Amino acid sequence: MTVRLHWFLPTGGDGRTLVDRHAYGPDDARKATGVRAPDIGYLAQIAKAAERLGFEAVLTPTGTWCEDAWLTTAALAQHTERLKFLVAFRPGLLSPTLAAQMAATYQRVTRGRLLLNVVTGGDSAEQRRFGDHLDHDKRYERTDEFLSVVRGVWRGEPYDFHGAHYQVEGGLTALPPDPVPQLFFGGSSAAAGPVAARHADVYLTWGEPPDQVKEKIDWIRSLAEREGRTVRFGIRLHTISRDSSAEAWATADRLLDDLDADTIAAAQAALGRSESVGQRRMLELHGGSRDRLEIHPNLWAGVGLVRGGAGTALVGSHAEVADRIEEYHALGVEHFVLSGYPHLEEAYWFGEGVIPELSARGLLEPATYPAAANGSGRAAPLLVSSGR
């Protein structure tokens, strides 16, 4: 099992700060240093960088503050050649038969570059914005049915389904997707585990310390075995990788310096209202305090002070970040979905620094990662310009 690397598309905006651009008023956002709008030109730069560096795919988020993931990535597919798109979507907001048809069309248009990230949703206020009023556990129940229908209609023959949430008669994807997109799925609650075991190809967890990640892997693996299935595992992390550990931690400190007490308090109050068990686990890693943010060697919880979702970052020298990836990989983590602020620059820091380290350790498929081409330890010849 080799390491498989993915990057992230910040379709809600990007910048040299952890403060979300939507926290600014219209006038403030124009004045704020390093805040970048998610226009297609900038997102294309990130996608092209990810492809150039050898990342397999880019995760594209979903939610109120993001551009639509399906439309954005379909546009970016025209700017790239090999890069896959891990499209996040919420099952309850569209018909499962339509979603299956959309995925099949996407595969043909992009020549097989679609992966799907199933986001059941952990915030009732966010769900109600889209007209969804089910509670937390019912949403997972509906997701279970949704994915049953999707996989059913992908068989290419009429499919009937009669459940509590969906009634489908003769559901059909006339031209099934080829290949069938892999399903990435996350969720830390008791309601989420059985759904992951029945449907997920890759179970995705946020970046908790390794002992907690191992508990999740063991949990999902045992549930999947009862279903007669095998599930692979992935982790969602930010990265701050530099030529030296001191440089990396200085960057983390600079990001922290941008956060005043009121900003942190407001963010923590909002995040604390989430129904997501995974989000609660992220908050428990730091308790809203700046004082104990390195929760495991090179694992920094500073991002989660003000941002929801993935709240931890791998911070250190390129070798130290590679050490932590190797540690998670030894637990059974195959897919690493990474990001950093700003996403364009951090893609290059990781791609040109950590990827050669991972390659030298035999953790990557050599032909997949161009940035590792000079990672064999052999020095390139020194060429001196004549000035002409």
138-152 per-position pLDDT tens digit: 999 999 999 999 999
- Label residues 296-318 b or e (16+ Cβ within 10 Å = b): bebbbbbbbbbbbbbbbbbbbbb
More confident residue, 214 or 20: 214
More confidently predicted of 26 and 249: 249
Measured between alpha carbons, how far is 349 from 368 in angstroms, rounded to an integer?
A: 18
- Whether 381 has a pLDDT exceeding 50, the answer reads no
Determine the pLDDT at residue 32. Answer: 56
Does the structure show a pLDDT above 50 at 385? no
Length of the chain as a residue count = 388
| 374 pLDDT tier (thresholds 50, 70, 90) | low
Mean pLDDT of 9-23: 83
The percent of residues in the chain predicted with pLDDT above 90, rounded, is: 70
Candidate ranges 19-23, 282-286, 325-329; pick with highest mean pLDDT? 325-329
Q: Determine the pLDDT at residue 30.
A: 45
Q: Are strands 159-162 and 167-171 parallel, antiparallel or unpaired?
A: antiparallel
Assess whether pLDDT exceeds 50 at residue 384: no
> What was the pLDDT predicted at 162?
97
The model's pTM is 0.91
Average pLDDT in the chain: 89
Phi (first) and psi of residue 333, to 5 degrees: -80, 125
Residues 103, 177 contacting (CB under 8 angstroms):
yes
Note the pLDDT of residue 122. 66
18 pLDDT band, cuts 50/70/90, is: confident
Joined tokens for residue 84: 């896959």
The predicted pLDDT at position 257 comes to 87
Q: Kindly list the distances between the CA atom of residue 262 and the CA atoms of 30, 33, 86, 282, 306, in Å, as whole numbers in the listed order.
A: 21, 19, 34, 20, 10
DSSP 331: H
**Per-residue pLDDT, 21:** 59
Question: Per-residue pLDDT for 273 more than 90?
Answer: no
